[in-house]
Amino acid sequence: MDFPLDFVRGFFPALADSNDLYFDNAAGTQVPQTVVEAVGDHLTRRNVQRGGRYRLSEEVDEFLQQTRESLAVFVNAHQPDEIAFGANATGLIRSMSLAFAEVLKPGDEVIVTELDHEANIAPWLALEARDIKVKFWPVEREGARLDIEKLDEILSDRSRLVAVTKASNAVGTIVDLIPIAERIHAHKGYLFVDAVAFAAHGPLDVQFFGCDFLICSGHKIFGPHIGFLWGKKEAMDSLPTFHEFFIPDRAPDKYEAGTPNFEGTAGLNAAVGYIEELGRRSRHLPLPPEEDVGRRGDMRRGMQAVRQYERTLTGYLLRRIQELPFVEVQGLTDPGQAALRTPTFSFNVKGLEPAKVSRLLAKERIFVRDGQVDCPRLFRALGLSDKTAGVRASLVHYNSGSEVDRFLDTLKDMPR
Ligand SMILES: Cc1ncc(COP(=O)(O)O)c(C=O)c1O
């Protein structure tokens, strides 16, 4: 694998103790030292309110803008004003659903999917109280995938919005957004994307995806606990939001319900800076010339390097796990399909409850998660209950093949 793993791991202080094995990254990733420093630097040097007429306060205004600029490049937005900060993805999706509640009409339709995290389902379902019809795009049991033909069956002239994840936080399936964008736009509706579970695994590109809104969380992309939203400028401007009189009635301010988490934004900027640094180390990777420009080129390359490496890691794990016939993996299990999924695996060990497997792994200092990971509808569709779903091992690019070996050897030796 032509990937600078030692260089990468050297950035993350938490990984210095190689006895701890972090396979719970879909819940939250570790952070580079540069992120720790950026957060600490803000709190020690300029922990003041924005908007004041003194240097430190002006610095806060400046780095908020810098973070918007960095995130705009990270998602390939047209402009920094398309980025708004929020507490987390769940809260941002809820406020967006409340904004849409003001413009949707009784009888209009919103489509949600069985593949999604409940954070991108429940806020839309709540619109039913206003006579908005919410339709479910079912997941295919085979491969835990969304079939575009099923979307065709449920789309109608009243369809106003499709809310869909870019990747499953439970089983790793990646969703092709382009055909969804084409269809919902043909009905003059919006594509609302939850990118939380994908963003650590590959390049975000809102122009390529063709979406109208996209949500992400800092703590899933090597940053602090903070969320952010991207929205197309016209859509951001036109949606009515709930904001107090002291918040300007313009995007992105009107999406930020008060003082943002300054130290979080500083850390998020540093997290994006880490991706850029990885991109500078990956200059050997070819990029289309239009993408190979400035910071976007570096970020794109950084995430491409991650994607390529993770594909190999995914293929390796899926191949090796076949040696353990008592382990059943959900979703796409063919090592040849590694490109269609992230390295987030939900599995069961025959004869052992998921919680027991997690506890036994934890004893060996291998950190995973068990349960429905906020996707009860998905697991029900896959034929699993709250008792039987599942163990989740979620890897990112700082995990290694030898960690996969240690994990699988521990599963193999587990008393069943
Ligand atoms: C796909 C997905 N969407 C949304 C969320 C909620 O994110 P947050 O923790 O930022 O509220 C999560 C969290 O695990 C997630 O995985």
Tell whether 49 and 12 lie within a shared domain. no
Which residues does 190 contact at the CB level (< 8 Å), separation at least 6?
A: 160, 161, 162, 184, 212, 213, 235
Say what the pLDDT of residue 18 is.
82
Q: What CATH number should be reported for the domain holding residue 143?
A: 3.40.640.10
- Ligand 1 site, residue 217, Cβ cutoff 6 A: yes
**Residue 295 domain flag:** no
Tell whether 86 and 25 lie within a shared domain. no
**Residue 322 domain flag:** yes
Tell whether 407 and 312 lie within a shared domain. yes
Tell whether 346 and 211 lie within a shared domain. no
- Ligand 1 site, residue 227, Cβ cutoff 6 A: yes
pTM given for the model = 0.97
Tell whether 245 and 328 lie within a shared domain. no
Tell whether 223 and 91 lie within a shared domain. yes
The tens-digit pLDDT sequence of the chain (416 residues) is 589 999 999 999 999 988 999 999 999 999 999 999 999 999 999 999 999 999 999 999 999 999 999 999 999 999 999 999 999 999 999 999 999 999 999 999 999 999 999 999 999 999 999 999 999 999 999 999 999 999 999 999 999 999 999 999 999 999 999 999 999 999 999 999 999 999 999 999 999 999 999 999 999 999 999 999 999 999 999 999 988 888 889 999 999 989 999 999 999 999 999 999 999 999 989 898 888 899 999 999 999 999 999 999 999 999 999 999 999 999 999 999 999 999 999 999 999 999 999 999 999 999 999 999 999 999 999 999 999 999 999 999 999 999 999 999 999 999 88
Q: Quick one: tokens of 372?
A: 């429905």
- The number of helices, as runs of H, and strands, as runs of E, in the chain is 14, 15
- Ligand 1 site, residue 90, Cβ cutoff 6 A: yes
Q: What gap in Å lies between CA 38 and CA 63, rounded to an integer?
A: 11
Q: Are 148 and 182 in contact (CB under 8 A)?
A: no
**Residue 279 domain flag:** no
State how many domains the chain has. Answer: 2
**Residue 296 domain flag:** no
Q: What CATH number should be reported for the domain holding residue 361?
A: 3.90.1150.10
Which residues does 298 contact at the CB level (< 8 Å), separation at least 6?
A: 275, 276, 277, 279, 280
Helix (H) or strand (E) holding 302: helix 294-321
Tell whether 147 and 185 lie within a shared domain. yes
Tell whether 250 and 313 lie within a shared domain. no
Task: Report the phi/psi class of residue 47: left, alpha or beta, with left for phi > 0 and alpha for psi in -120 to 50.
Answer: beta
Q: Quick one: tokens of 264?
A: 């979080």
Helix (H) or strand (E) holding 370: strand 369-370
Pocket residue to mutate for ligand 1, from 374, 392, 394, most atoms within 8 A of Cβ: 374
Say what the pLDDT of residue 372 is.
97
Last residue of a domain, one of 254, 274, 294: 274
Its domain, for residue 232, covers 35-274
Nearest CA residue ID for atom 7, ligand 1? 89
Tell whether 234 and 318 lie within a shared domain. no
Last residue of a domain, one of 274, 297, 318: 274
Tell whether 17 and 117 lie within a shared domain. no
**Residue 161 domain flag:** yes
Say what the pLDDT of residue 416 is.
83
Q: What gap in Å lies between CA 63 and CA 55, rounded to an integer?
A: 12
Q: Are 138 and 381 in contact (CB under 8 A)?
A: yes
Tell whether 345 and 235 lie within a shared domain. no
Say what the pLDDT of residue 2 is.
82
Any idea what the Cα angle at residue 304 is, between residues 328 and 177, rounded to 5°?
Answer: 70
Tell whether 9 and 81 lie within a shared domain. no
**Residue 299 domain flag:** no
SS3 content of the chain, % helix, strand, coil (to 5): 45, 15, 40
**Residue 89 domain flag:** yes
- Ligand 1 site, residue 108, Cβ cutoff 6 A: no
Residue ranges in 29-84 assigned as alpha helix (H)? 33-45, 55-75
Distance from the CA of 368 to the center of ligand 1, in angstroms?
A: 16
Say what the pLDDT of residue 273 is.
98
**Residue 212 domain flag:** yes
- Ligand 1 site, residue 30, Cβ cutoff 6 A: no
